[in-house]
Structures are given as C-alpha cells and as structure tokens.
Copies of this chain bind each other. A is one copy, B any other.
Amino acid sequence: MEHHSHSNTLKIKSLGIDTYRENTVFMRSDCHICRSEGFTALTRLVVHYKRKRIIATLIVVHSDLLRENEAGLSDIALKRLDVKEGDLITVSHLKPIESLSDVRAKMYHKKINEAAYRKIISDITNGFYSDIEIAAFITACAGDNMDLDEITWLTKAMIDSGSKLKWDEKIILDKHCVGGLPGNRTTPIVVAIVAAAGLIIPKTSSRAITSSSGTADTMETITTVNLSIEKMREVVNKEGGCFAWGRSAKLSPADDILIAVEKALDIDSSGQMIASVLSKKAASGSTHVVIEIPFGETAKVRTHEEALKLQYYFKAVGHAINLNVEVLITDGSQPIGRGIGPSLEAMDVISVLRNDPNAATDLKERSLIIAGALFELSTKFGKGKGYLEAKQILESGKAYDKFNKICLAQGGFTEPTFAKHKIEIKADSSGTVISIDNRKLAKIAKLAGAPHYPSAGIYFSSPIGSKVEKGQTLFTIYSESEGELQYAVDYLKSIHSILKIA
C-alpha cells in the first residue's frame, strides 16, 4: 500500500484541456506535493479519488491558472477518475509498472510470452502507459521483431481487452482493406450485396484520423452509424448486415490507443497491424474474413513480396485464433471512385448501388470481387461462382434494396447532398489526363472542410485516361462556407499543378 497523509490532498479545478487519450495532471510548481515528492516534468503520478485511481503525466504550472492546493486534470483524466471541479483528490508516486520490464525485454529482442502480452495490453487499456511508453512498445515490436506465436498472443490479448460480440449464426462475415486507397468505399456496397444473399455481415468501420473521410464518416451522411452493441445486434438480426462506427461498440479498445501513437510515429509495423485487424474482426464475432491488400508505388504496401508476406501472416494468425481468412492482393496504383469527402463518397456508393450508368466502374468492380470472395469463403457459392452471383445481386437491385433496409433499421435514409458553395476548376489546355496528385487533392478537400463538414470535398470528373477540352471542368470543390472555399482555392493557387494533361 502507498502512504497518503492529508497533506497530499488537492482540489480539482476544471481547465477544459483535451490531451486526447493521455491522462495529464496539472500542478503548481510551488505546491507542497511537487516540492516534497521531487516531482519534475514527465513524472508519472498516481491520482486517487475515492476508490478509483489513474496514472497521469505531470505538467507543471507557473501561473495563476491554479490556486494553491488546486490541481487540474485533462478531460480524459477527469472522465476516467469520475471527478468534477471542487472534488478532493490525492496524489502519490507511481511504483514501477511491472509489464514495462517485458517491454524492455522486447527492446532487447527477447521473445516474451503470452502472459506478458496480456499484461502489457491490459495496462495500456487501463491508461497506465504514457505515450512515450506506448511508443517504446510499438517500436520494440516493429521490424519483424515478433514471431508468429507473439503476433498470435498479441492478437488474443487485444481481443480480450474489450467487449466481444457473439452471434447465433455459424458463419459471420467481415472484410478489411489494408491501407485503403482514397475513395475506396467498397464496404457499404459489399455489405449490401452479402446481406442481400442472406449472409450475416455485422460490419464496423472507422472514422477519418488524418484523411478527408473514413467509411464511418461516409455512411454517417446517409444514416446513423453511432450504434450501441444492442442496437447493432438488433439491426443485424433483422437485416443480416450493418454499417456501424467501430469505436462506439468498444471492440479491441487497446487497438485504438496503439493506432493513435502509430499514426503519430507514421509507422505501421506488420505484426501490430495484423494483430490490430484480426483482433477487431475476432472481437466482433466474425468467423470468415476477406482481407484486401492493394499494392502499388503510392499504396501502403509497396511490393508484391511484401503483400505475399502479409498474406501468409494474416492466414497463419487467423488459423491460430480460429478465424477463416482469405487474402486478396489487388492493384493499388490509383484511387477508386470520384468523390473525396464524406457526402461525395456516399454519392459514389449510392450510384453503384442504383446501377446508375454514370457510376464509377472501378468502385463497382472492386466491390464485386470482394463480395465474390466472401461468397466463396463462406461456401455459400462454389469456387469461381462468387463474382457472378455478386454481380447478379447488385444489378438486379436487390443490393440497393437491402442497403435501404439496413439504413432504415439504423435510423433512416438521408440522400447525401452537395455543399452550398462550389467552384469548378477547369482545364487550361486540351489533352488526356495522365496523372493525378492524390495527396494534394485530399488536402484541398480537407481545407474545404471535410470531414468536419460532411458535404465539403471534391468531386472529381476527370480520372486518368479522360480526354478533356480546354475550359472543361476537371473537378469541383464543395464547401459549406465562402471562407473555407477561398482557403482551399488559395492553396490550389499556391501549388503548381494537381493534374497532368498531355
């Protein structure tokens, strides 16, 4: 037991500071506790309130932001400790976190056991690790440092870190795309086709972190995606499929924490990635999963060799955790669809489902391949028959009908709309579009307001290979305010070119 005297007590002041996931405690530099305990910046402390305790990183305050005997907590820390302004907390030193010694062993390239992974993930989920400690764990696991056993143990630990869904049906389908291409919104189409065939696909998706839209953002322009586990189950029981935001279902919460630090480090270790994907799938109760790995120069996976290696691990770890995994290695050389931004991508999806003659054929094709693979993996249809069955279900209108029914079950169907303001960007010469800078296009969509304003973004009317005349519209920027539209146009003017016409 740690020792607390009453002199360790501080009164909470609410500062409204959002440090995202990291628990932070703000204390005055001249406070009794800081001085006597010898706390310095980067110190980790235990903050107690009644029977709860959290571990938090100290930030020292020199101003009158806090009065004597006051302490502040970041928003997430207030929530985790369940305290409000005026409550009395106590603060004490942190004893070493035991699982960090396993992280150190991993830094030294030792194989660590299943119990170690379980403890590390449990401590991370409980908020006991600082961001730099999480960064050390991620780095120690990168560079092919984990063998097949370890990836499997990490996956299992992540599955057990959160809720798990159980379904009555024997076969539960799911899909995932590794390092999704811009506009690659196959998910809603695949779910509609698969559910229309009478199969079960309780799909959860993520929101954008740094991109202009995630699948959950896109689907939110059409229906409610913030479903509780109970609501999700209700929708799936009724319609066979759903479009839910993953985070709201609290599946594999450790994964969300690890991903945030990985994004900040801009690394994607294959072991962590496999554990991340498969843990989410297993936690959601899936039994059969199709994983798409697009490879290409500007995709996340650069080479065919790398894609093959990932394929092996996905299948082997899947086998070890009783998940039937099929891996599709696909072309990742260019983006898919035309919209960039939640509503505009939703329009792409709906066009394909409605069999609109102007629908993006690349998006349709990719969706049919994935749905076909799911059909064959589930043994609903025999080898070589999946694609054609998927095409028949889509083109007959059954998939669109199912899509509508799922949306209604989730809370309603709203037709996605264009934003109020727009500007058309025209070709300044005639010729054929030979290349597109997707990163710059995505940046313009973000400057225009996506995903914060769902209808903001870009509608792209001239994919690679299009023949264009001088003065013809290449793409249209949409925005909810003149100010943001101008902001996007200013940026566009400041860069050289976004499309090459030759």
Q: Cβ of A63 < 8 Å from any Cβ of B? A: yes
Binds B, one of A129-137, A221-229, A365-373, A411-419: A129-137
Q: Kindly identify which residue among B17, B21, B260 contacts A26, using a CB–CB cutoff of 8 Å.
A: B17
Q: Assess the A130–B264 pair: CB atoms within 8 A.
A: yes
Q: Cβ of A138 < 8 Å from any Cβ of B? A: yes
Q: Assess the B7–A18 pair: CB atoms within 8 A.
A: no
Q: Cβ of A115 < 8 Å from any Cβ of B? A: no
Interface code A481-502, partner B: CB below 8 Å = 1, 0 otherwise? 0011001001100110000000
Q: Kindly identify which residue among B44, B62, B96 contacts A16, using a CB–CB cutoff of 8 Å.
A: B62
Q: Assess the A483–B7 pair: CB atoms within 8 A.
A: yes
Known: A40-B209, A42-B264, A266-B100. A61 touches B18 (CB 8 A): yes
Q: Cβ of A75 < 8 Å from any Cβ of B? A: yes
Q: Assess the B483–A139 pair: CB atoms within 8 A.
A: no
Q: Cβ of A38 < 8 Å from any Cβ of B? A: yes
Q: Assess the A36–B447 pair: CB atoms within 8 A.
A: yes
Known: A18-B41, A62-B18. A35 touches B449 (CB 8 A): yes
> A36 contacts which chain B residues (CB < 8 A)?
446-447, 449, 452, 484, 487
Q: Kindly identify which residue among B104, B208, B212, B261 contacts A267, using a CB–CB cutoff of 8 Å.
A: B104
Task: State which residues 144-176 of A face B: CB under 8 Å.
Answer: 144
Q: Cβ of A351 < 8 Å from any Cβ of B? A: no
Q: Assess the A487–B7 pair: CB atoms within 8 A.
A: yes
Q: Assess the A41–B17 pair: CB atoms within 8 A.
A: no
> A135 contacts which chain B residues (CB < 8 A)?
131-133, 135-136, 139
Known: A104-B267, A487-B5. A17 touches B446 (CB 8 A): no
> A337 contacts which chain B residues (CB < 8 A)?
none
Known: A5-B490, A64-B16, A449-B36. A144 touches B483 (CB 8 A): no
Give Cα distance in the complex from A40 to B7, angstroms: 37
> A209 contacts which chain B residues (CB < 8 A)?
40
A276 → chain B closest CB, angstroms: 17
A462 → chain B closest CB, angstroms: 24
> A19 contacts which chain B residues (CB < 8 A)?
41, 59
> A197 contacts which chain B residues (CB < 8 A)?
none
Q: Kindly identify which residue among B5, B21, B452, B491 contacts A35, using a CB–CB cutoff of 8 Å.
A: B452
Q: Assess the B265–A133 pair: CB atoms within 8 A.
A: yes
Give Cα distance in the complex from A483 to B8, angstroms: 12
A237 → chain B closest CB, angstroms: 35
Nearest neighbor of A41 in chain B, beta-carbon distance: B20
Give Cα distance in the complex from A209 to B109, angstroms: 29
Give Cα distance in the complex from A104 to B449, angstroms: 32
Interface code A43-71, partner B: CB below 8 Å = 1, 0 otherwise? 01000000000000001111111000000
Q: Cβ of A3 < 8 Å from any Cβ of B? A: yes
Q: What would 5 more interface pairs be, CB under 8 Å, given A44-B264, A107-B143?
A: A3-B490, A5-B487, A17-B65, A38-B451, A38-B452
5 tightest A-B CB contacts, nearest first: A16-B63, A20-B41, A139-B139, A132-B135, A3-B494
